[in-house]
Structure 1
Amino acid sequence: MPAATDRIEFAPPPPPGRLRALALAVLAHVLLMLALTWGITWNREAQDLSVEAELWARVPQEAAPAPTPPPVVQAPPVTPPAPPPAPPEPKAGPPAPPVVQPKPPDIALEREKRRQEEAERRREAQEKQKQLEARKHREELERKKELEARRQAEEQKKLEAKRKKEEQERREATADKKRAEEQARAKKQQEDARRVQALREENLRRMQNMANGTGGPSSSGTAARSAGPSESYAGRIRARVKPNIVFTDDIAGNPTAEIEVRMAPDGTITSKRVVKSSGVSSWDAAVLRALDKTEVLPRDIDGRVHSPLIIEFRPKG
């Protein structure tokens, strides 16, 4: 007893899922049996099918009447005592009508009929196609006519707009021309009036200057005083600036430097600039340094200072 108990304790455990595997195997066999049974039954039912067909003629035909059987002629009764008379000739009954066999369908007639029907269908299809093409052609012509009419209307509208624009431009040009002529006429009248006024003022000023002249004995002008510098003014400026020029370079020719000088009312030099260079930068710089050193230029004989004043400087006088 203890030995059996030890063997059970040390035996390997049973594999799990044995009942589930057994149930699945039974279910698979049952499904297989059902599938086989259904297949055998289906094959047996398929063999029991029967097909019936009825034949009908393409053209309905009427069957001929059944033949009439001849009438049955009964012989007269025989009298035993009397000798039998000669048997009368049997009367022939009415002839049986001929059996009319059903006329087989005419295959050629059927073919011709089918051919005519097919030709009729083709002709109808062609007629419909022609009508459709004719309708499309008419619609295309109408559409082209409509487009042409629309194009002509647009061109007419453009021509009308262009004509109106040209007419407007012509009117505007005429108006501008008239306006310009009026403006030119008014401007000319204003210039004439201004010229007349200036001439009158000039005459009055000349008359007044002649009455109060300040020129020298040899002066032949009509103004109250000379507008430009006197003849001796250039020599006075040269005498004031020349001692301040320091230039020792030896150059070819006698280039001229033109300097614009601006002065205050007392002759003080306020600004200077080279208007025209001599081409020798050292001579231009020497002249500018001399003006800076001079600082003040002399006044003219009438006490005026001419500003701005352009002075020419040459290295050789």
Structure 2
Amino acid sequence: MNAKSAPHLEFAPPAPPGQQRAWLIAGLAHLVLFMALGLATAWKTQPQTVQAEAELWSAIPQAAAPRRQEPPPVPQPEPQPAPEPKPVKPVKPTPPPPPAPDLAQERLDAQIALEKKKQQDKKKEEQKAAELQRKALEKQKKEAQEKADKQAAAKEKKELAEKALEKKKATEKAKAELDEKKRKQEQSQKAAQAKADDAQADALRKENLQRMQGMAGASGGPNASGAALKSSGPSASYAGRLIGRIKPNITYPGDVVGNVRAEVEVRVAPDGTIQSRRIVQSSGNKTWDDAVLRAIDKTEILPKDTDGRVPPLIVLGFRPLD
């Protein structure tokens, strides 16, 4: 029998019974027989006591003889009880010889055991493979879930970032529009203010020129009662005093080629505080123009004129070599 026919053994007819059972039955029968013989022998060895009486008669009647004096009966010894027979020891049956090994049955049993072990090992391997597959599926499922969670988190983060960016763009756009509107308004206001300042500056120049012309053509001494001299503009030295006050604050890096002139319009409050300044005529050198504007900002307050007043608007000229 080979391994290929092993799966069909479970449907084969049962093997013939061995000789052990037959030997066991024969031994028990002999034991019962010996015990019966022993009991029969013990029953026949018991002693038996037989008692009998007899009377004798003669054929011719005879005179009775005198009665013989019989001697007293000798007491007979009491019969001794027969010794009890010793029980017959049962003959111990000779154990049957061990049955000859059934090599075919042993090979069959070994093959069945081997096949059973193979099936058990195969079942264990299948269970182990199933467990490994289950763990692999669980790991794969866990990794897929983690990946999905990461993707969802990244998507949510991206959407939030896009919304924040859109909101920022909308805010910046609204701010830019507001700044542009404000810039245009300021530009328009500055243009209007510059136009008004130009008109006022022109009017002031004309007025100053007229006053200077009036001063040049006026006559009379200190006690003169005319209004021309008293109503004239700033004193002749006032512009020089202002330039002398501002010029020390000019910080100019480098040398200026030529004695260029920058004219600056300065708007002043009644207390002398400088409110604004602007270049009305550039010197052609932006560095010099910026240095003059910084010096005016640094001065902050202008001194009053000899009459205690400060002109609201004045044009000053600055040259680097003056």
Question: TM bucket by the smaller chain?
Answer: 0.3 to 0.5
- Point out which structure has higher relative CO (alpha carbons under 8 A, 6+ apart): 2
Q: TM-score, length-normalised on structure 2?
A: 0.36
Q: TM-score, length-normalised on structure 1?
A: 0.36
Q: Which is greater in Rg?
A: 2
